[in-house]
Amino acid sequence: MTDLIREISQTVGRNKLRMALTGFAVAWGVFMLIVLLGIAQGVVNEFEDKMLGRDNYLLTIWGGQTEKVWKGLKEGRTITLEEKDLGDIGRNGSVPARAVSASIGNDTVVFSANNMTLTGGYYGASPESMYYDDINMSAGRFINNRDMQQRRRAIVIESDDARRIFGSDSAAVGKIMTGMGLAWTVTGVYAHRWRSTVYVPYSTAAALAANADEVESIDVELGGVSTKVEGREAEQAVRETLAQNHSFDPEDKNAIWVWNRFLNNLEAVEVLNILVMTMWIIGILTLLSGIVGVSNIMFVSVRERKHEIGIRRAIGARPRSILTQVVWESVAITILFGYIGIVAGTIVNGIISTMTKGMDIMRDPGVTLSTALQVTVVLVAAGAIAGLFPAIKATKVRPVEALRDE
């Protein structure tokens, strides 16, 4: 190790300007790699926080309008989902359904209290909706099973609305609001980044609907699926079940609308992986110029130390030991300047994180320990490659010729 440090010091001392320029190129390449990977990780974090929630395995189905003739029935028929569809989907062995639920709502209802109003209607929810919609209660409780069983006129409102109408989240719990000429009790207040839905018990919403058998949409929570093929098969099985119930062509994509969040999330993750891979490629290409510089310096070092290498060969040094020393010198130089780039890149990522805090662009850009280790491996490999060819040249130095040149 002492000899290695000494040789590196001599190499740096003999080629100060060239080493400085080469070191800057290496540090800059690693700096760009760290910053690009940090930005990519920030985008991935934002996506995972916003999109990869608890509803990753949901299929949401809405009724549509047929565009194909089927068994004598004309196109253009409106398909309306019904309560019985839930049981049929759940009983279909081809659908890997962990749970099946329905939603119903009314977007024209206005709720009011304290001379203030809530527009946008309501959404009929089950207790599971809190899980699927990633609801965090700030006061009170969400819709529960007793609300469902007794068809209570209970509502859950969003935190901003609660503060605007009642002054605070806790003050809203237990208060009465009016809507549709009925009194509704606020049972809970929730906080969400973008959702402001008013939730009521599904059973209550169904009882107030003009046709209690009709539902607005159906949610199917998939279980035991992990690939795109399985996700598509599950969606097709749901289409075939509903096609049989409502007499339409299972291949008629317009008859029902299916939001396959499982497939969408898999595809989004693939895109993000491509983004990360692209950042790696750009960063490594930027680093390449620095690696070429390191290789050039090692060639110069080998030429200047030709006499020394010749003497070492004459007194019995094996080619392998000379090759190893030159390669390790190259690796050490690359890692030295590379870690300068890592530190600088980490600082810049911290600055970017501070500047983008609270913005829906990226979240906590930076590199993980795993990524830092991967960058270290890249540096070691790059340094080894940069020093390999000069090292091979050093092993070919003949003692007699080296001493003669001297």
Q: Structure tokens of 243?
A: 């096609």
Measured N-to-C along each axis, helices 319-355 and 369-395 cross at an angle, to the nearest 10 degrees, of 150
205, 239, 261 — which closes off a domain?
261
Q: Judge if 87 and 111 occupy the same domain.
A: yes
Q: Judge if 191 and 297 occupy the same domain.
A: no
Q: Structure tokens of 339?
A: 């870690």
Q: What is the pLDDT of residue 405?
A: 53
Q: What is the pLDDT of residue 52?
A: 59
Angle at 124 between CA 118 and CA 128, to 5 degrees: 120
- Burial category of 5 from C-beta neighbours within 10 Å (exposed 0-12, middle 13-18, buried 19 and up): exposed
How far is residue 220 from each of residues 59, 85, 255, 266, measured CA to CA in Å?
5, 11, 18, 17
C-alpha to C-alpha distance for 123 and 126, rounded to whole angstroms: 10
C-alpha to C-alpha distance for 71 and 81, rounded to whole angstroms: 20
Question: What pLDDT, in 10s, does the model give residues 338-369?
Answer: 888 889 988 998 888 888 887 777 788 888 88
* Torsion 145-148-152-153 (CA) sign: positive
Checking if the pLDDT of 275 tops 90, the result is no
Q: What is the pLDDT of residue 194?
A: 80
Cα pseudo-dihedral 109, 111, 115, 119, rounded to 10:
-60
Indicate the residue type of 84.
K
- Burial category of 78 from C-beta neighbours within 10 Å (exposed 0-12, middle 13-18, buried 19 and up): exposed
Which residues lie below 8 Å from residue 376, measured CB to CB, with a gap of 6+?
335, 338
206, 228, 261 — which closes off a domain?
261
Checking if the pLDDT of 117 tops 70, the result is yes
- Burial category of 115 from C-beta neighbours within 10 Å (exposed 0-12, middle 13-18, buried 19 and up): exposed
Q: Judge if 164 and 250 occupy the same domain.
A: yes
Instruction: Using pLDDT thresholds of 50, 70 and 90, give the confidence band for residue 135.
Output: confident
Q: Judge if 353 and 374 occupy the same domain.
A: yes
- DSSP annotation of 343: H
Q: Structure tokens of 220?
A: 């199917």
Neighbours of 382 (CB within 10 A): 25
How far is residue 209 from each of residues 37, 111, 124, 185, measured CA to CA in Å?
52, 17, 10, 19
What are the φ/ψ torsions at residue 65 (nearest 5 degrees)? -140, 130
Q: Judge if 226 and 99 occupy the same domain.
A: yes
> What value does the mean pLDDT take over residues 216-244?
90
**In whole numbers, what is the pLDDT of the chain averaged over residues?**
84
Q: Judge if 209 and 79 occupy the same domain.
A: yes
Per the CB < 8 A criterion, the answer to whether 252 and 66 are in contact is yes
Print burial letters for 228-251: b (CB count within 10 Å at least 16), e (below 16): eeebeebbebbbebbbeebebbbe
Q: Judge if 35 and 69 occupy the same domain.
A: no
Instruction: Using pLDDT thresholds of 50, 70 and 90, give the confidence band for residue 134.
Output: confident
Q: Judge if 256 and 271 occupy the same domain.
A: no
Q: Judge if 46 and 72 occupy the same domain.
A: no
> What value does the mean pLDDT take over residues 104-121?
90
Domain span at residue 390 reads: 2-51+267-405
Checking if the pLDDT of 142 tops 90, the result is yes
Q: What is the pLDDT of residue 113?
A: 94
Q: Judge if 306 and 377 occupy the same domain.
A: yes
164 against 221, higher pLDDT: 164
Which of 84, 65, 68, 50 lies closest to 218 in space, CA to CA?
84
> What value does the mean pLDDT take over residues 360-384?
83
Per the CB < 8 A criterion, the answer to whether 125 and 256 are in contact is no
Checking if the pLDDT of 400 tops 60, the result is no
Q: Structure tokens of 300?
A: 């110069």
Q: What is the pLDDT of residue 179?
A: 93
| Proportion of the chain above pLDDT 90, given as a percent | 30
Print burial letters for 36-57: b (CB count within 10 Å at least 16), e (below 16): bbbbbbbbbebbeeeeeeebeb
Quote the number of domains for the chain.
2
Checking if the pLDDT of 226 tops 90, the result is no
pTM: 0.68
Which of 300, 316, 218 lies closest to 259 in space, CA to CA?
218
280 against 308, higher pLDDT: 280
* Torsion 45-47-50-53 (CA) sign: negative
Checking if the pLDDT of 53 tops 60, the result is no
150 against 382, higher pLDDT: 150
Indicate the residue type of 378.
V
313 against 146, higher pLDDT: 146
Instruction: Using pLDDT thresholds of 50, 70 and 90, give the confidence band for residue 233.
Output: very high
Q: What is the pLDDT of residue 116?
A: 93
Q: Judge if 313 and 392 occupy the same domain.
A: yes
192, 227, 261 — which closes off a domain?
261
Q: Judge if 273 and 364 occupy the same domain.
A: yes
Checking if the pLDDT of 261 tops 80, the result is yes
Question: What pLDDT, in 10s, does the model give residues 159-212?
Answer: 999 999 999 999 999 999 999 999 999 999 999 878 889 999 988 998 888 666
Which of 345, 332, 329, 371 lies closest to 28 in space, CA to CA?
345
Which of 330, 329, 264, 318 lies closest to 293 in space, CA to CA?
330
Instruction: Using pLDDT thresholds of 50, 70 and 90, give the confidence band for residue 14.
Output: low
